Amino acid sequence: MNEDSSSGKQRLREKIRGATASAILEAGEAVFAEQGLNSARMDDIAARAGVAVGTLYNYFADRTALIAALVDSRRDELIHRIDKALASAEELPFQKQLEVFVMAAFQHFKTHRPFLTILMEAESAHLTTAKPRDSVRALFERCEAVVARGVQLGAVKADTLVDYAAMLHGCLRAVFTRGRICGDPVDPTPENAAALVEFFLRGAGSSG
Amino acid sequence: MNEDSSSGKQRLREKIRGATASAILEAGEAVFAEQGLNSARMDDIAARAGVAVGTLYNYFADRTALIAALVDSRRDELIHRIDKALASAEELPFQKQLEVFVMAAFQHFKTHRPFLTILMEAESAHLTTAKPRDSVRALFERCEAVVARGVQLGAVKADTLVDYAAMLHGCLRAVFTRGRICGDPVDPTPENAAALVEFFLRGAGSSG
Amino acid sequence: MNEDSSSGKQRLREKIRGATASAILEAGEAVFAEQGLNSARMDDIAARAGVAVGTLYNYFADRTALIAALVDSRRDELIHRIDKALASAEELPFQKQLEVFVMAAFQHFKTHRPFLTILMEAESAHLTTAKPRDSVRALFERCEAVVARGVQLGAVKADTLVDYAAMLHGCLRAVFTRGRICGDPVDPTPENAAALVEFFLRGAGSSG
Amino acid sequence: MNEDSSSGKQRLREKIRGATASAILEAGEAVFAEQGLNSARMDDIAARAGVAVGTLYNYFADRTALIAALVDSRRDELIHRIDKALASAEELPFQKQLEVFVMAAFQHFKTHRPFLTILMEAESAHLTTAKPRDSVRALFERCEAVVARGVQLGAVKADTLVDYAAMLHGCLRAVFTRGRICGDPVDPTPENAAALVEFFLRGAGSSG
DNA sequence: CATGAATGAGATTTCATTCAT
DNA sequence: AATGAATGAAATCTCATTCAT
């Protein structure tokens, strides 16, 4: 947090904000999502970005660093979106807050489906960087925060046997994964978000 | 050359074949789980199995076939376990059936954690064989069957907005994944299974 | 970025590409001839060409493609040489035409002894590409054309029992092979060509 | 030539005369001809012979020795056939002797087409044993002997520029090869043999 | 002797990374 | 900075040969 490191970080940020770097990240997002985190070749990413392979290495130290930067930049966006949504909904009743949270996730799913494909692959894959794992954790932590707030507000049970945060995370993931398994993705509509929240809070059991 | 010795020799040969093949599959399970589906090298698998590389190819046509065989054999075990559990619980009330189902999954999780690591990786990874994806689908289909039975028995809502089967699948997955994210795996106790079922049917919301 | 430099650079690049490709083909010609079409290793070809193995694959898709390209390029040369010679001799009496044809073959034998070694090996070997076989056929077809012209001009018998084209081909081949069997190659002199033609037209029998 | 070595040779011969060894040689002949001298695998030969791979090594030291033995045994047959034919024709006029010689070769071609395919491949291929090359030379030497006799009898010109023996060898080879190039093998009839001899002695030129 | 599973050296091919231009 | 040809370590797969049964 001293000036040196901060200005170093600053320079990195500037670099990444540059048009070429962005093009590379976008190309990486597309190619990694299409071909898989392990199979995608640097050549293909370069070609998609419209630059030479060598250029990739002017912006990112190596393949791993490119993936890390990609994950970093996209995660920030997701986390910001969710945090903003949560902040704006702070005064609403908990169920609404949860719906807003889920909607934010849904919308991000829709915008960054390729990125999420990467992230889910990264979640389980064995990678040299911890970055992707960290990103997954970032979403997981928001789930924990939301659930914690729910508990605090008395809207969520304080169960010690089931980790509701993990369940929420699993349900979000399931919504996204469903498309891949069934070939029939869920639309990010408020109705769907509300229905998911309803399930999360009241369960799948018939009320009888 | 008499029948006894000849068939005995035959059986012995087969037994040895089977033993080597099993050793290779087990080695594969371990190494793939440790190093990842893509990074694991055939050399390592051979070394772990205590055989030479060439031997792998005496039993499996190629790397892909080895993965396919591995997934096949383990999936069969999981599916059989679940189907047997479900059959034995047919007469119980639905909630109990669900608990039995979840317990079967939990137990398999415990026994075959390495394999599941592979399977989850396979779920999202881009692979050359469809086999692993099929195995994921097999578990998903059991979730669908259970949920369908619940609907039929009037124990599960017939919601069209939320796919409860996908949610059940997501929750099971979340239980397994939790260990990897938090480093604190859930014990496959009946209590935990019951708690998960309770969440699935009644939700996380406080009853008030 | 002006047109001159850009196109100049382009041309330079192409020239270099061409030079490397040629070097690889030449190295291939030498190594295949020395070690045999099947035993020659890509490593050796690369070493002889003064490049790394990987470079071979920047120019030729695989081993087979390298052989095919090699055969293609050399065959074109042989065929062009022969066709040009035949065309230039069109007005001469048939025996002269035949001598010109044989001389063209002799000269090519001398210049491309390594390549011919490859081609003869390819003629009888079982190969994955048909390319080499096609090249053999190309020479065979020239023999057919020459013999057909001889028949047309009344200089060659129209025998139905003996395929004179095959005989001519066999004799040319024998001249080349002789060196390998006896270690005493025939010089590509006009005298030797004339003598071969004399044999082909008049036979080995003493005139008495 | 002492008793030891002679009895050693004797034992070898006996071994090769054994049913198993013969079966292996026959299998080798077929498989090598079908798949090529380099591509044919020991496993395939064993399978075709109806024995286990290990058995091959009880009869032949290694792959190379198997090829050598194969060539040896078949060459002996060819050479004996030719020598016998030549001996029986010793009193006939030279042209007849030549026809007998060619017929013997033709007949052997017909009976042992697979073996010849191997031999021709061996002629040009780069092999570890000299055996096949020696076999080619054996046929070549018979050509030389016949031609020499022709010269002696005044039936063949004593040309120093053209090696008639090589030409005869080349023509025989051409007859055999023709089938492979044109897919239309020459029948081993006396007429065809006579026509070939006619060509060899009188040439392809029209007599005018 | 026969067997055939095991062996492991060796060959091909890929692709992240470098560096001269 | 951009380029893209060259690099060569590494991974997969083959198959002649061995040897315990």
Q: How confident is the model at residue C7 (pLDDT cuts 50, 70, 90)?
A: very low
Q: What is the number of H-type helices and E-type strands within chain A?
A: 10, 0
Per-residue model confidence as pLDDT tens for chain D (208 residues): 344 444 444 555 555 568 899 999 999 999 998 888 888 999 999 999 999 999 999 999 999 999 989 988 888 888 888 899 989 998 999 999 999 999 998 888 787 788 877 877 776 666 666 666 677 788 889 999 999 999 999 999 997 789 999 999 999 988 888 766 666 777 788 999 999 999 999 999 987 5
Q: How confident is the model at residue B5 (pLDDT cuts 50, 70, 90)?
A: very low
Indicate if the pLDDT at residue C120 is higher than 50.
yes
| Of B157, B178, B208, Cβ closest to residue A166 | B178
Q: How many CB atoms lie within 10 A of CB D14?
A: 10
Residue contact C37–D125, C-beta within 8 A = yes
The CA–C1' separation of A145 and E18, in angstroms, is: 46
Sequential DSSP letters for B32-45: HHHH-TTT--HHHH
Using CA atoms of C152, C196, D110, D147 in order, give the dihedral in degrees to the nearest 10: 130
Average pLDDT over residues A1-24: 62
Q: Which nucleotide is nearest to A63 (CA to C1')?
A: E16
Q: Which residues contact C5 (CB under 8 A, 6 or more apart)?
A: none
pLDDT of residue C166: 93
Q: Which residues contact A129 (CB under 8 A, 6 or more apart)?
A: A64, A65, A67, A68
CB contact burial D21-59 (16+ within 10 A = b; e otherwise) = bebbbebbbbbbbeebbbebebebbbebbebeeebbeeb
For residues B169 and B176, what is the distance between their CA atoms, to the nearest angstrom?
A: 11
Q: How confident is the model at residue C193 (pLDDT cuts 50, 70, 90)?
A: very high
The pairs formed by B133-140 with CB atoms below 8 angstroms and a separation of 24 or more are B134/B71, B134/B75, B135/B71, B135/B72, B135/B74, B135/B75, B136/A181, B137/A181, B138/B75, B138/B78, B138/B79, B139/B78, B139/B79, B139/B82, B139/B105, B139/B169, B139/B172, B140/A181, B140/B165, B140/B166, B140/B169
Is the minimum distance from the CB of D39 to strand F below 7 Å? yes
pLDDT of residue D3: 42
Q: Is B90 helix (H, G, I), strand (E, B) or coil?
A: coil
Residue of A199, A200, A201, A207 to mutate when probing chain B, most B C-beta within 10 A: A199
Sign of CA dihedral D61, D113, C145, C96: positive
Q: Which residues contact C47 (CB under 8 A, 6 or more apart)?
A: none
Task: Write phi, then psi, for A156 (nearest 5 degrees).
Answer: -125, 135
Enter the tokens of residue B34: 């440790």
What value does the mean pLDDT of chain A take? 85
Enter the tokens of residue D83: 């020598």
Sequential DSSP letters for A53-121: HHHHHHHSSSHHHHHHHHHHHHHHHHHHHHHHHHHHTTTS-HHHHHHHHHHHHHHHHHHTHHHHHHHHH
Q: How confident is the model at residue C2 (pLDDT cuts 50, 70, 90)?
A: very low
D/B Cβ contact: 3+ pairs below 8 Å: no
Average pLDDT over residues A15-34: 88
Residue contact C202–D198, C-beta within 8 A = no
> Is the backbone of residue B50 left (phi > 0), alpha (psi -120 to 50) or beta?
left
pLDDT of residue D183: 66
pLDDT of residue A181: 64
Question: How much of chain A, in percent, has pLDDT values that exceed 70?
Answer: 84
Indicate if the pLDDT at residue A15 is higher than 70.
no
Residue contact C199–D167, C-beta within 8 A = yes
Looking at CA atoms only, how far is residue A24 from chain B in angstroms?
A: 21
Is the minimum distance from the CB of B42 to strand F below 7 Å? yes
Q: Which nucleotide is nearest to C57 (CA to C1')?
A: E13
CB contact burial A90-100 (16+ within 10 A = b; e otherwise) = eeeebbebbbb
Closest CA to D55 of D20, D27, D25: D20
Question: How much of chain B, in percent, has pLDDT values that exceed 90?
Answer: 52
Enter the tokens of residue B54: 């060439």
- Which residue do the tokens 């092999």 mark? D127
CB contact burial C61-75 (16+ within 10 A = b; e otherwise) = eebeebbbbbbeebb
CB-proximal positions of chain F, under 7 Å: 1-20
Closest CA to C124 of A173, D119, B144: D119
Question: How much of chain A, in percent, has pLDDT values that exceed 90?
Answer: 51
Residue contact C206–D171, C-beta within 8 A = no
Q: Give the angle subtended at the CA of C121 by the CAs of C120 and C127, to the nearest 5°.
A: 120
pLDDT of residue C131: 67
Highest mean pLDDT range out of A134-138, A184-188, B92-96? B92-96
Q: How confident is the model at residue C119 (pLDDT cuts 50, 70, 90)?
A: confident
For residues C36 and D133, what is the distance between their CA atoms, to the nearest angstrom?
A: 14
pLDDT of residue A200: 97
Distances D13 to D17, D19, D75, D132 between C-alpha atoms, Å: 6, 12, 15, 19
Q: Is A156 helix (H, G, I), strand (E, B) or coil?
A: strand
Q: Minimal Cα distance from A137: which residue of B?
A: B181
Residue contact A161–B191, C-beta within 8 A = yes
Using CA atoms of B177, B179, B185, B190 in order, give the dihedral in degrees to the nearest 10: -10
Contact D149, D97 (CB under 8 A): yes
Indicate if the pLDDT at residue A1 is higher than 60.
no
Highest mean pLDDT range out of A33-37, C72-76, C93-97? C93-97
Residue contact C117–D136, C-beta within 8 A = no
Its pTM stands at 0.84
Indicate if the pLDDT at residue B191 is higher than 90.
yes
Partners of C156 in the beta sheet? D205
pLDDT tens column, C15-31? 566 789 999 999 999 99
Is the minimum distance from the CB of B57 to strand F below 7 Å? yes
3-class SS string, B134-166: HHHHHHHHHHHHHHHHHHHCCCECCCCCCCHHH
pLDDT of residue D2: 43
Q: Minimal Cα distance from B189: which residue of A?
A: A161
Q: How many CB atoms lie within 10 A of CB B113?
A: 15
Give the domains, in start order, of chain D with CATH numbers: 1-60 (1.10.10.60), 71-202 (1.10.357)
Indicate if the pLDDT at residue A17 is higher than 90.
no
Q: How confident is the model at residue C98 (pLDDT cuts 50, 70, 90)?
A: very high
Average pLDDT over residues A118-126: 73
Top pLDDT among C56 and D73 is at C56
- Residue length of chain D: 208
3-state helix, strand, coil in chain C (%, to 5): 75, 0, 25
